[in-house]
Structure 1
Amino acid sequence: MSANVFKRGDVWHFAFQVGGERVRRSTRLKSRRAAEQLAQREYDAAVLRANGGQPVPTLAELAQAWIEVHRPVASAAHLRSVELFYRLHMFDLGEKPINAISTLDVELARNKYLVDHKPASANHWLRILKLLTMWAVKRGMLAAIPWHVPMLKVQKRPRSILPLAAARAWFAAVDQATAHAPAIGTAVRLMFGLGLREGEAITARWEWIDWARKTYTPGITKGREAEPLPMATWLREHLEGRRQPAGLIVARPDGQAFASGFARQAIRRANDTCAVKGITPHRLRGTFATLMSEAGVPIQTVQRVMRHKSFTTTMGYLEKNLDVAAQAQERISAIAGFECHKNDTDHQSAPVDSGSTVY
């Protein structure tokens, strides 16, 4: 992008925008060539001022710099998202100086992304672009974000939770699918029993268990917290049989850490075996939050054990259990004195044995 020159009477003027600031002046010159040279000098000087004396990078250069700076400190998942954006999804934006990217440019690039991706994924694409642009603002490369594009409205989809009635059979299927690597079954139990993220299960260590207090404190977390989590009896008993003085709780046979996605195949097999749909490592975390809430745990406590900064994030994890709603409706009907026929009991949910805690 550069300055645009235009004539008013016999005199040439120029206009440009840098860092959200619009500049419009007269060159006081009658020669177009001389006016264009002056306008370009003014534009280049404005770019340097807005960028702290440094040339404004292209989006591709900005993404490269972000990855280099954040590689030692950002999570692997976060890095993968930005690297994928950099390699495949910048489209025509990659070669543009970041101060020259307009709202229309972003909208057209997003339309290209939407050809092969869903709206929810397009919103994630936009978040990464905003992340990089805001980093440029914080580093003084830009005075402000030069574009404004709102998120797309996305139709929410029902998300699954692991039914307690199927939990025993489901974990047995996981163990059968991971007979070659039993540590994967342990990782799945940590996700279900403590609400750990997949990355937190990968990095879980024996020395972070306080056996006396019956707690586990994740030492590597997304939000850098170190909150102790109470461990249920069934989970402690499972871990006791594998107890080590130190090291990774979940490790490959050679002692090395698993890669991301290590438990997904076993979980899919268990889903197929038990006719359970939609359970993933992250939905095990959602199951943990939902079951805690249904057991009467206050939202503030669920937020703390989930290690969320805001309770609104926690609310997004809680799914509606229609079995609970159906049982409540039956109780309300009985109190109201409505007649309940015996054959209606065939449609009621079987009670869950709360004592069945060893999976």
Structure 2
Amino acid sequence: MRKDVSLFRVGKVWHYRFSIDKKRTQRSTRESAHARAIVVAERAYRAASLQSRCGRVVPTLRELAGLWLAATELTASASHRAGIETFGRLHLGVLAEVRIDQLTTELVESARNEHLQTHAPSSANHWSRKVRLLCRWAMHRGFIVEIPFKVRMLKVQRKPRATLPIDLSRQWLEALDGVASEPVRIAVRLMFGMGLRESEAGSARWEWLDAVRQTYTPGQTKGREADPVPVPGWLMDYLRPLRKPAGLIVSHADGGPFARGFTRVAIKAASARTGIGNITPHRLRGTFATLLSEHGAPVQTIQRVLRHKDVRTTLGYLESDLSHAAHAQARIAEQGGLQ
């Protein structure tokens, strides 16, 4: 342990003491193990040294969320910002007024357990990722020197996710046409036919569509990628009579963009009419990826079309087609004389 920091015990708990610029700091490490207490004390000393050099006040977690939102107003996607805004407003729990240099594994785990009382384990993992994201950003901004906690993700039982069966897609789209406005009908077809995110369908522009090459190059995406996407013939035929020289493909009558989630109600209604499971806007993207995989597209190609930076993200979108397994089981039973 560095000589500038001293440790002493009060009961079973270790406390630390140090001075920086003639300002004395003394706090509890909340640890009874000496080795862990050293780690906490040295982290506190480094954070205090950094604050002294930079003249910055270390924010609370709630304040940090506000700083992140202010700094990313023009760079982060609307969906990403909405998630952090909701997190900072509703889900910080006991951590809201804790300074980020005072966060500990015990505190973060306690807050996560409080979150688990009203939310699913998968939601708790999303919660943990948001805390970590904000703390990583705080490191880059110089508020802290390292993330002051180590919390493992919970093991979550993966549930089967719905995909739109290809043999019911025509029926499903007809049901959608019966409940949705024209802009929503177009947006859903962009999502189903090219794997666009809902936000990308909502920001799609006619000038990004190449009718000669039958490709579409998104100019506004989540990851800032600009790779062309093939446009299937049926979708090109649908768009051709509607085509304009420029402007949003999907818009209100006054030309303004739709708000986030504008396709959800129509998609839910179409799924209910056709008796298909819980199809969401993002599951249309998963359906697109799964259908490409089932029809022989290599995962690297699917990764590029979906514009994922990591192939592991792409693999998470793919669902297994159990009909192949059922067909194999039937052949096994036939060869074995079981049917």
> Given residue 73 of structure 2, which amino acid in structure 1 is its aligned partner?
R
The aligned counterpart of 1:111 is 113
Whether contact under 8 Å (1:173, 1:270) holds in the other structure is: yes
Matched AA of 1:79: R
Deviation at 1:240, TM superposition (A): 0.4
Report the residue type matching 1:136 in the other structure: A
Are 1:274 and 2:245 counterparts? no
Alignment pair present for 1:172 and 2:160: no
Letter in 2 for 1:61: E
Aligned runs of 1:51-66 on 2, under 5 Å? 51=51, 52-66=54-68
Given the alignment, which residue of 160, 163, 176 partners 1:161?
Answer: 163
Distance in 2, matches of 1:198 and 1:57, equals 35
In structure 2, do the counterparts of structure 1 residues 89 and 242 end up closer, same or farther at CA, with 3 Å as the change threshold?
same
Offset from partner CA, 1:254-294 (integer Å, 9 cap, x none)? 22111111111111111111000111111100000000000
Residues 234-255 of structure 1 show CA distances to partners (whole Å, capped at 9, x for unaligned) of 0000000111111111112222
Superposition map of 1:122-133 within 5 A: 122-133=124-135
Which AA in structure 2 matches 1:204?
A
Q: 1:96 aligns with which of 92, 98, 109?
A: 98
Residue 49 of structure 1 and its aligned partner are, at CA, apart by 2.0
**Alpha-carbon displacement from aligned partner over 1:41-62 (angstroms, at most 9, x marks no partner):** 9999864422333222211221
Secondary structure in 2 matching 1:71 = coil
Retained in 1: the 8 A contact 2:203–2:257?
yes
Q: Alignment partner for residue 136 of structure 1, among 135, 138, 150?
A: 138
Tell me: CA distance 1:233–1:50, structure 2 relative to 1, closer, same or farther (3 Å).
same
Shift of 1:15: 4.8
Deviation at 1:72, TM superposition (A): 1.5
CA contact (8 A) 2:177 2:185 kept: yes
Within a 5 Å distance, the mapping from 1:312-351 to structure 2 comes to: 312-330=312-330, 337-339=335-337
Q: What is the number of residues matched between the two proteins?
A: 314
CA drift of 1:92 comes to 2.0
> 2: distance between equivalents of 1:119 and 1:276?
26
1:1-359 maps to which residues of 2 (within 5 A)?
A: 15-16=15-16, 38-39=24-25, 47-51=47-51, 52-178=54-180, 181-330=181-330, 337-339=335-337
Deviation at residue 37 of structure 1 after TM alignment: 7.2
How far apart, CA to CA, are the structure 1 residues paired with 2:240 and 2:266? 23
Look up the equivalent residue of 2:242 and give its one-letter code: R
Residue aligned with 1:241, SS? helix
The CA deviation at 1:331 is 5.1
Code of the aligned partner of 1:216: Y
Q: 1:66 to 1:39 in 2, by over 3 A?
A: closer
- Please name the residue that 1:354 is paired with: none
Aligned 8 A contact 1:184 1:263 in 2: yes
* 2: CA distance, partners of 1:25 / 1:121: 39
Q: Secondary structure at the match of 2:144?
A: coil
**Shift in CA distance, 332/213, structure 1 to aligned 2, threshold 3 Å:** farther
CA distance in 1 between counterparts of 2:110 and 2:244 reads: 55
Distance of 1:251 and 1:243 partners within structure 2: 13
Q: Distance in 1 between matches of 2:111 and 2:249?
A: 44
Contact 1:5 1:39 in 2 (8 A): no
Q: Distance in 2 between matches of 1:168 and 1:39?
A: 69
Unaligned 5+ segments in structure 2 are: 28-40
The CA deviation at 1:324 is: 2.4
Match of 2:35 in 1: none
Residues of 2 paired with 1:110 and 1:141: CA distance? 23
Q: Give the % identical residues.
A: 49
Tell me the distance in 2 between the aligned counterparts of 1:38 and 1:281: 55
The CA deviation at 1:333 is 6.0
8 Å contact 1:206–1:248 — kept in the other structure? yes
SS at match of 1:257: coil
Structure label with greater radius of gyration: 1
Determine the structure 1 residue equivalent to 2:32: none
Contact 2:46 / 2:145 at 8 angstroms: preserved in 1?
no
5+ residue gaps in structure 1? 9-13, 17-23, 27-35, 342-359
